[in-house]
Amino acid sequence: MTSISAAPAPAPAPPAPAAAAGRRRARGGAGVTRPGLAWAAPATAFFALFAIVPLVLVAVLSFTTWNGIGSPQPAGLANWTALWHDPVMIKSLWLSALLTTLGVVVQTPISLLLGVWAAGHQRNRAILSAIYFVPLLLSATAVSVLWRALLDPNFGIPAQASWLFGDGNLLGSQAGSIGVLAFVGAWQWTPLHTLIYQGGARAVPQVLYQAAAIDGAGRVRQFFHITLPQLRNTIITSMVLMVVGGLTTFDTVLILTQGGPGTDTTISAYYMYQQGFKSFDFGGASAVALVLVVVATVISLAVVRLSGYDRMRSTVEGL
Amino acid sequence: MTAAASALVIGLTAGCGSGGSSAGASGGGAGVIHVLVYGDAGNTVEKQLVDTFNKTSKVKAVLDTIPGADYQTKLQTVITTSQAPDVFFNWGGGSIAPFVKAGLLLPLDDMIAKDPGLKANFLPSVFNTAVIDGKSYGVPMRGTQPVLLFDNKKTLADAGLTPPATWDDLLADVHALKAKGVTPIALGGGDQWPTLMWFEYAYDRVAGPGLFQKALGGDATAWASPESRKALGMLKQLIDAGAFGSNYDSVKYTDGGSPALLAKGKAAFELMGSWEYSTQQSNDPDFAKNGLGYSAFPTVTGGAGDPNDVVGNTNNFYSVLKTTKHPDAVAQFLKLMYSDEFVKAQLGIGNLPTTTNTPQFLSGSADPAYSQYQYNLVKQAPSFQLSWDQAYPPSAITPIHQAVQEFFDGKLDTDGFVKAMQALPTS
């Protein structure tokens, strides 16, 4: 997340207000002014207080044993060596990766198509879109409780459609429970990404479509040759959000599966909670948390770097 | 978390403020004792008792409640601070063991020596749950929750069956019910703890309470004993017979899934804590009144366990912190836990207290016959085994639940289960 919010800041420097320009000449010279460090101070202080300081504390805690009573006792590398040999930790990382990938693969095409469709201006679209965004208004907890009840094998949807669901043991098998988590995640978050794509699609200049239409391009060609390339940055934004959201998914797992059956849906974020607040092993939980921070940061940076997002190439260039 | 924590801080500070002013009013250095309880419907009785206590005591009691299931987590964060309560609600056993180990709790033996009623007025099988290393650390409060084998009377009658007296009867019932197309036993496997109840009773009936006590004491060989393997073999037989159907891990007790199976006659039995009655009463009052049957867990032929043994949540307890400035006032407060007023108030909200004077007031409960049955069950029990996930320290809860679920699903075999239980932390 930080990489996204940090990246646009130093981008094409807007012409500074005359007063500021008069007071503060940029060292870069040639009349270009840069925002002073003082302007960033409040944000930096906030970031330090609520992100850096807790992160450092978590790092320190990961070298201690602490069950919440009294003061943490130094434990050296014990938590880290235990984590290294912990099959559940490895499994949880794979599960997090799997759920995140599933989220991106399922939600991206659906929200992209829906978003482009919803970017139109007809009245019925606006009404349909409004209804469609309802899941976004519900908390993840409410959504999970709702689906938990709907998926009851004896009284819910599976009981009505046993030709499709068999005995309805969706949450009792690994494939079933991961499928349910991916589905509920998509049900809840696709509207958000649809909204992002809708905004992106509305920003595509109409002249491009008019020109393409004159050249005889149909709707499909227009989509692949204009809409999709123009939405490149939107796609990256949406995917980074999905990756970060996927890696930190927690509430749906807590309510729908509790990491079960066995450890089959114990994703890293849930594992961290389990270690900390069910087993009262805050040292071990801190180690899990740090692993998660590192993995999420590396993946976010990789997505931004590989996609060229960091170069901030404009999609409207050439106009 | 943060909001709740700060609410707690505000609550405690406010409590101190009012305590200070009342101390000033009574004119002589009297203080306050803070009583921390789990915030739920049971608080009405606790509020009433605090009011009763404050009418006569110079030291005033202040009731602080922590809402929600995060009680234990929040307790753990305040207990070493200056905001620690004087008296707090807990589940006995493993839930207070870490505090005892850290030297935070006051052994109550001196108080009991001065007022033997603090021990003698409670059922011994319940009182002993809060005895750690031979010292008493808790006085029972609220109600007992033994686990019973519930049944749907009509479903059983339709199949020509009666509640099983022995394990073999249970297996025979399972086959008969399956032949009728009924799921024999409702199980909320998604919650994991209902599955655990089957292990607790099977182990008790086969080996008696000694095996588990040995294992809890740190002797991991108990899990590998022939009795342990026999109990696991019996459970396996029951699972393989299809007693629980095939989708129990997608069913929960907590969202009403498994109680509905029983009430609607889709299943014939459910092994559950005594709160099954109040659950059914709120979901389907007619079924609770006329259709819900209950019996003790079946005996195992040749098993070492006494057929009268029960498992479950023995009770909740009040424990006292060593740092309390008013141990005498605390002792006076704890006295109320065996008063007539306490018993009547608890029965009034559907709880079954475990004091020796409870029987006098049973006729005033929601279902006197059910209350009487439960009371006798607990009273006659030579052993009342606290649920495994509460007897072990909190760090063992997750591994226990996982092992239990994986054994039922066939992902762990007998050796795998034994190994998982041997790896549990016991302190």
Instruction: Name the pairing type of β-strands B267-273 and B183-185.
Output: parallel
Residue B2: its pLDDT value, please?
A: 38
pLDDT tens digit string along B284-309?
999 998 999 999 999 999 999 999 99
Say which residues have a Cβ less than 8 Å from residue B267's Cβ, sequence separation at least 6: B152, B155, B182, B183, B184, B185, B186, B245, B258, B261
| Contact criterion met (CB < 8 Å) for A152 and B394 | no
Assess A69–B contact: CB distance below 8 Å, yes or no: yes
Q: Which of B70, B249, B400 to mutate to test the interface with A (most CBs of A within 10 A)?
A: B249
Nearest to A171 among B76, B249, B396 (CB): B249
Assess B113–A contact: CB distance below 8 Å, yes or no: no
The C-alpha of B249 sits at a distance from chain A's nearest C-alpha, in angstroms, of 5
Residue A291 pLDDT greater than 90, yes or no: yes
Nearest to B260 among A148, A155, A169 (CB): A155
Residue type, A260: G
**Residue A115 in tokens:** 């978003």
Residue B242 pLDDT greater than 70, yes or no: yes
Q: Which residue from B minimizes the CA distance to A256? A: B190
Sheet with B87-90, strands from edge to edge, namely B60-67, B32-39, B87-90, B316-320, B139-141
The C-alpha of A274 sits at a distance from chain B's nearest C-alpha, in angstroms, of 8
pLDDT tens digit string along B192-208?
999 999 999 999 999 99
Which H or E element spans position B33?
A: strand B32-39
The C-alpha of A264 sits at a distance from chain B's nearest C-alpha, in angstroms, of 10
C-alpha distances out from residue B307 to B297, B370, B419, Å: 8, 19, 28
| Contact criterion met (CB < 8 Å) for A153 and B250 | yes
Contacts of A251 in chain B (CB under 8 A): none
Assess A179–B contact: CB distance below 8 Å, yes or no: no
ipTM > 0.90 for the complex: no
What is the rounded CA–CA span in Å between residue A262 and residue B411? 9
CA B116 to chain centre: 25
What is the rounded CA–CA span in Å between residue A280 and residue B95? 12
Residue B367: its pLDDT value, please?
A: 84
User: If you write DSSP's letter for every residue of B88-147 in order, what string do you get?
Assistant: EEE-SGGGTHHHHHTT-BPP-HHHHHH-THHHHTB-HHHHGGGEETTEE--EEES--EEE
Assess B380–A contact: CB distance below 8 Å, yes or no: no
Q: What percent of chain B has pLDDT over 70?
A: 92
Confidence of residue B32 (pLDDT cuts 50, 70, 90): very high
Residue A31 pLDDT greater than 90, yes or no: no
Confidence of residue B26 (pLDDT cuts 50, 70, 90): very low
The C-alpha of B356 sits at a distance from chain A's nearest C-alpha, in angstroms, of 35
| Contact criterion met (CB < 8 Å) for B395 and A280 | yes
Confidence of residue B382 (pLDDT cuts 50, 70, 90): very high
Nearest to B395 among A153, A168, A281 (CB): A281
| Count of CB atoms situated within 10 Å of the CB of A173 | 16
What is the rounded CA–CA span in Å between residue B324 and residue B104? 10
Higher pLDDT, A229 or B426: A229
Higher pLDDT, B329 or A121: B329
Assess A152–B contact: CB distance below 8 Å, yes or no: yes
Phi, psi for B252 (deg, rounded to 5): -120, 150
Tell me the mean pLDDT in the region B390-417: 93
Alpha-carbon dihedral B337, B340, B341, B342, rounded to 10 degrees? 30
Confidence of residue A314 (pLDDT cuts 50, 70, 90): low
| Contact criterion met (CB < 8 Å) for B76 and A280 | yes
Residue pair B53/B336 in contact (Cβ under 8 Å)? The answer is yes
| Contact criterion met (CB < 8 Å) for B251 and A261 | no
**Residue A20 in tokens:** 């500021």
Residue A240 pLDDT greater than 90, yes or no: no
- With CA atoms as reference, report the closest residue to B298 among B148, B177, B126: B148
Residue A309: its pLDDT value, please?
A: 64
pLDDT tens digit string along B169-199?
999 999 999 999 999 999 999 999 999 999 9
Give chain A's mean pLDDT.
84
Residue A134: its pLDDT value, please?
A: 84
| Contact criterion met (CB < 8 Å) for A278 and B397 | yes
Q: Which of A152, A171, A177, A254 to mutate to test the interface with B (most CBs of B within 10 A)?
A: A152
Residue A40: its pLDDT value, please?
A: 87
Residue B320: its pLDDT value, please?
A: 97
Nearest to B73 among A152, A171, A277 (CB): A277
Contacts of B270 in chain A (CB under 8 A): none
Assess A150–B contact: CB distance below 8 Å, yes or no: no
| Count of CB atoms situated within 10 Å of the CB of B201 | 26
| Count of CB atoms situated within 10 Å of the CB of A145 | 15
**A192-206, B67-81, B382-396: range with lowest mean pLDDT:** B67-81
What is the rounded CA–CA span in Å between residue B187 and residue B185? 6
Q: Which of B71, B185, B247, B411 to mutate to test the interface with A (most CBs of A within 10 A)?
A: B247
pLDDT tens digit string along B129-185?
999 999 999 999 999 999 999 999 999 999 999 999 999 999 999 999 999 999 999
Residue A166: its pLDDT value, please?
A: 86
Place of tokens 């207990």: B79
Please tell me chain B's helix, strand, coil percentages from 3-state DSSP, rounded to the nearest 5.
55, 15, 30
Nearest to B250 among A67, A172, A274 (CB): A172
pLDDT tens digit string along A178-232?
999 999 999 999 999 999 999 999 999 999 999 999 999 888 999 999 999 999 8
Phi, psi for A61 (deg, rounded to 5): -60, -30
Residue B71: its pLDDT value, please?
A: 87
Size of the A and B interface in Cβ pairs below 8 Å: 93
Query: DSSP letter at B297?
Result: P
Tell me the mean pLDDT in the region B223-252: 96
**A305-319, B161-175, B248-262, B355-369: range with lowest mean pLDDT:** A305-319
Interface of B with A in 47-76 (CB under 8 A): 70, 73, 76
Q: Give the global pTM.
A: 0.84
Q: Which of A65, A279, A281 to mutate to test the interface with B (most CBs of B within 10 A)?
A: A279
Say which residues have a Cβ less than 8 Å from residue B165's Cβ, sequence separation at least 6: B298, B299
Confidence of residue A261 (pLDDT cuts 50, 70, 90): very high
| Contact criterion met (CB < 8 Å) for A261 and B249 | yes
Residue B74: its pLDDT value, please?
A: 86
Nearest to A69 among B70, B98, B252 (CB): B98
- With CA atoms as reference, report the closest residue to B120 among B316, B359, B383, B357: B357
Higher pLDDT, A59 or B349: A59
Residue A141: its pLDDT value, please?
A: 87
What is the rounded CA–CA span in Å between residue B184 and residue B170? 10
Residue B238: its pLDDT value, please?
A: 97
Assess A135–B contact: CB distance below 8 Å, yes or no: no
Residue B317 pLDDT greater than 90, yes or no: yes
Residue B418: its pLDDT value, please?
A: 97
C-alpha distances out from residue A45 to A6, A8, A36, A158, Å: 15, 19, 15, 52
pLDDT tens digit string along B56-69?
999 999 999 987 66
What is the rounded CA–CA span in Å between residue A314 and residue A318? 9
C-alpha gyration radius of chain A? 24
Residue B22 pLDDT greater than 60, yes or no: no
Instruction: Name the pairing type of β-strands B87-90 and B32-39.
Output: parallel
Assess A171–B contact: CB distance below 8 Å, yes or no: yes
Q: H/E/C letters for each residue in chain A?
A: CHHHHHCCCCCCCCCCCHHHHHHCCCCCCCCCCCCCHHHHHHHHHHHHHHHHHHHHHHHHHCCEECCCCCCCEECCCHHHHHHHCCHHHHHHHHHHHHHHHHHHHHHHHHHHHHHHHHCCCCHHHHHHHHHHCHHHHCCHHHHHHHHHHHCCCCCCHHHHCHHHHCCCCHHHCHHHHHHHHHHHHHHHHHHHHHHHHHHHHHCCCHHHHHHHHHCCCCHHHHHHHHHHHHCHHHHHHHHHHHHHHHHCCCHHHHHHCCCCCCCCCCCHHHHHHHHHHHCCCHHHHHHHHHHHHHHHHHHHHHHHHHHCHHHCCCCCCCC
User: If you write DSSP's letter for every residue of B312-325 in order, what string do you get?
Assistant: EE--EEEEEBTT-S
Tell me the mean pLDDT in the region A122-135: 80
Sign of the CA dihedral running B109, B112, B118, B122: positive
Q: Which of B250, B322, B400, B411 to mutate to test the interface with A (most CBs of A within 10 A)?
A: B250
In three-state secondary structure terms, B207 is helix
Half-sphere exposure of B61 (CA within 13 A, CB side): 29
Confidence of residue B54 (pLDDT cuts 50, 70, 90): very high
Q: Which residue from A minimizes the CA distance to B71? A: A277
Tell me the mean pLDDT in the region A52-59: 94
Residue A5: its pLDDT value, please?
A: 40
User: If you write DSSP's letter for every residue of B305-370 in order, what string do you get?
Assistant: S-TT-EEEE--EEEEEBTT-S-HHHHHHHHHGGGSHHHHHHHHHTT----BTTGGGGGGGSSSHHH
pLDDT tens digit string along A134-176?
888 888 888 998 999 899 999 999 988 888 888 889 999 999 9
What is the rounded CA–CA span in Å between residue B18 and residue A299? 54
Residue pair A295/A93 in contact (Cβ under 8 Å)? The answer is yes
- With CA atoms as reference, report the closest residue to B212 among B194, B195, B193, B231: B231
Residue pair B171/B241 in contact (Cβ under 8 Å)? The answer is yes
Residue A312: its pLDDT value, please?
A: 59
**A30-44, A66-80, B140-154, B257-271: range with lowest mean pLDDT:** A30-44
Contacts of A285 in chain B (CB under 8 A): none
**A163-172, A215-224, A294-303, B2-11: range with lowest mean pLDDT:** B2-11
Residue type, B88: F
What is the rounded CA–CA span in Å between residue B194 and residue B209? 19
Assess B409–A contact: CB distance below 8 Å, yes or no: yes
Tell me the mean pLDDT in the region A11-20: 44
What is the rounded CA–CA span in Å between residue B251 and residue B259? 10
Assess A54–B contact: CB distance below 8 Å, yes or no: no
Nearest to A153 among B76, B102, B247 (CB): B247
Nearest to A69 among B76, B251, B397 (CB): B76
